[in-house]
Amino acid sequence: MATTYPAAVQQSIPVGPEPVRCVCPSCGAQIISKMKYEPTTKTHLIALLLCCCICWPCVCLPYCMDSCQNANHYCPNCDAFIGTYQS
């Protein structure tokens, strides 16, 4: 007879455009999240649109603006992924 165990439930930590104070789900430490920005498909499409509109000198702007990228939150202690804020 096989024993079944309940599935582990991962708590969702609400994250935003600013670092958040929370308890790391991986190491259990009280932390302020570390943020890293990553370009998305939206970032690339904005750059392509600027290029097509003869604004090619401005093509790098979406890659320099945090508001055009996803904000990924990580634990500064163990570098565990906490969540993503999509603008």
* Distance between CA atoms of residues 51 and 20, nearest Å: 35
* Distance between CA atoms of residues 6 and 24, nearest Å: 22
pLDDT tens column, 66-82 = 999 999 999 999 999 99
pLDDT tens column, 4-52 = 555 444 557 889 999 999 999 999 999 999 999 999 999 999 999 999 9
Task: List the structure tokens of 15.
Answer: 């994250």
Q: What pLDDT, on a 0 to 100 scale, did the predictor assign at position 83?
A: 93
